[in-house]
Each structure stands twice: as structure tokens, then as C-alpha cells.
């Protein structure tokens, strides 16, 4: 099937295409019949409303569009597509891409550098993804760059990247308290591992991976609360067990917000 680039219209995913997509993504196979039907409709609606653009010679095909759409829709399966209304375009690079950064240090000195990324979600703008990182071997079992970037979109829906999507005030207070506690615990655990690395181990090298594997989340989660939320959202949908064991209160908050419980049959329990 060819997803049109012209005027938008309601699309459908035929049975053969849907079966192939489910076979390729384990988190789709885990959905019950009701959630599977809802996901199929949601992906079709997502593809009807978004434009995919390739760069550096890459031309997104149906497989790319479907793969990205399915992973983007998983976090909003029981929320709906409204949080994604602030953008239309998804830009796909063939591989990791460099973004020029400029930061000012505490002494007022300006530093410029290239930040190599697998994905980026822009406030009010497009989502940018590296296809190699979408389709290729993951850096960790719970890693998923599409879910990560679309979790940022959820976070940014109220205009602030603070690790908390829009929600009622009472729920927001509980969420932030729980998120900050889990984040602080994670940072302490990461620092303990770094302090315990043998002197001949490069903390940035592959030889340190065995030590970092003891963490329930990728070390990148320690960057700030926004990245902690995005990395934790990856784990929640892809490999929820370690997240639930390490941070049960945060897992419960995620179940309430996403209205989804990956460890207990998908939909939130009553």
C-alpha cells in the first residue's frame, strides 16, 4: 500500500499489512483483541495526519512509516492523538545526525559543539529520527528511540519539558513528587557505579557497559527529569519489569497516566 503525500484522507491498514506489522513488533503482538483493533485504527489516523520527509537521499517507504507510526501510537493507545496536534512532520535521517549546540558555562564562556543524535523532538515542531536507530540493533533491551521522542512530545504538550505531561493539579503534584524521588534514586545509583569503576575502565567506553547494565534504566536517564521520563517511558512499554521492580510508585503513576499496564494484560486494571 502507498500512503499518499497529497490531500489528507482517512486511511485503512489492510489485514495483510497489519499482520506483517504485528509480526515485526513484539509489543503489538502482546495487545489483546480490543487494544489491537484500537491500535490499528490509531495508526491509520496517525498516518493520515502526518507527513514523512527523508533526508540525505532517504525516501521513507510504507514499512518505515508503519514502523514509526506504530511505535509513536503505543504511548497514546488509550489517550488518543490530541497530544500530537502541535506538529505535522516527521523527518527521517538514514543514520545518526549532528546538531550544532551552543552552551555558556558558569564563567560566561560560550562553547560550540556537534551533538550526535538518534532522535529529537522539537517544541511545536517536527520529530526527527535516525532510521538506523529505529530499525537497527538497540543499545539496550529497553531502548526505543521512537517512544523516547514521542514521550518528549507528551511532556512538551503543556509547553515545558519537565518530565510531567499535562494532567490535573492533584495528579501532577503526586507525579512530580514520585518522579523526582525516582530520579534522585537513579542518579545516586549511577554515581555509585561510576565511583566504583576500576581505574582502568573508561566510563564512556564499551567496557563499562557491564557495570551500567546493573541499572534499571539507561544511564542517559540521569541527564535531567525530562530525559528520565522519556527513558522510563521507553522501558515502560518495551521492558517494564525492571522499571516496576525498581520504582513501583513511578510505574503506578505511568499506569494511571497511560491508562495501560504492560505487566498485566495491557489495559489498566480497575
Q: Give one DSSP letter per residue of 66-129, joined into a string.
A: HHHHHHHHGGGTTT-SGGGTT--EEEEESS-EEEEEEEE-TTS-EEEEEEEESEEE-TTS-EEE
d(CA 28, CA 38): 11
**Are the C-beta atoms of 216 and 247 separated by less than 8 Å?**
yes
Q: What is the pLDDT of residue 166?
A: 94
Note the pLDDT tens digit of each residue in 1-55.
444 444 445 567 889 999 999 998 888 888 999 999 999 999 999 999 999 999 9
- For the domain 169-267, what is the CATH superfamily, name and number? Collagenase (Catalytic Domain) (3.40.390.10)
d(CA 56, CA 193): 39
List CB contacts of 113: < 8 A, sequence separation 6 or more.
Answer: 100, 101, 103
> Is the entire prediction scored with pTM above 0.85?
yes
Q: What is the pLDDT of residue 211?
A: 86
Please give the grid coordinates belonging to residue 37.
483493533
Spell 94-117 as b/e; 16+ CB within 10 A means b: eeebeeeeeeeeeeeeeeeeeeeb
Note the pLDDT tens digit of each residue in 218-268.
999 999 999 999 999 999 999 999 999 999 999 999 999 999 999 986 655
d(CA 48, CA 12): 9
Amino acid at each position: 500500500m502507498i500512503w499518499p503525500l497529497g490531500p489528507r484522507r482517512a486511511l485503512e491498514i489492510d489485514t495483510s499489512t497489519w499482520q506483517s506489522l504485528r509480526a515485526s513488533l513484539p509489543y503489538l503482538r502482546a495487545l489483546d483483541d480490543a487494544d489491537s483493533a484500537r491500535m490499528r485504527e490509531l495508526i491509520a489516523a496517525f498516518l493520515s495526519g502526518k507527513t514523512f520527509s527523508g533526508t540525505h537521499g532517504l525516501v521513507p517507504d510504507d514499512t518505515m512509516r508503519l514502523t514509526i507510526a506504530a511505535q509513536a501510537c503505543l504511548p497514546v493507545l488509550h489517550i488518543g492523538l490530541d497530544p500530537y496536534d502541535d506538529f505535522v512532520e516527521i523527518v527521517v535521517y538514514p543514520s545518526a545526525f549532528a546538531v550544532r549546540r551552543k552552551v555558556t558555562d558558569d564563567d560566561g564562556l560560550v562553547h560550540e559543539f556537534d551533538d550526535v543524535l538518534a532522535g529529537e523532538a522539537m517544541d511545536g515542531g517536527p520529530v526527527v529520527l535516525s532510521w538506523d536507530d529505529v530499525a537497527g540493533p538497540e543499545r539496550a533491551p529497553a531502548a526505543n528511540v521512537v517512544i523516547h521522542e514521542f514521550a518528549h512530545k507528551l511532556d512538551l504538550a503543556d509547553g515545558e519539558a519537565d518530565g510531567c505531561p499535562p494532567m490535573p493539579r492533584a495528579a501532577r503534584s503526586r507525579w512530580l513528587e514520585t518522579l523526582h524521588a525516582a530520579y534522585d534514586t537513579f542518579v545516586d545509583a549511577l554515581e555509585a557505579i561510576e565511583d566504583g569503576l576500576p581505574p582502568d575502565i573508561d566510563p564512556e567506553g564499551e567496557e563499562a557497559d557491564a557495570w551500567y547494565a546493573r541499572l534499571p534504566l539507561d544511564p542517559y536517564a540521569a541527564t535531567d527529569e525530562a530525559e528520565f521520563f522519556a527513558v522510563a517511558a521507553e522501558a515502560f512499554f518495551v521492558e517494564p519489569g525492571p522499571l516496576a521492580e525498581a520504582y513501583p510508585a513511578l510505574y503506578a503513576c505511568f499506569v494511571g497516566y497511560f491508562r495501560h499496564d504492560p505487566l498485566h494484560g495491557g489495559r489498566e486494571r480497575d
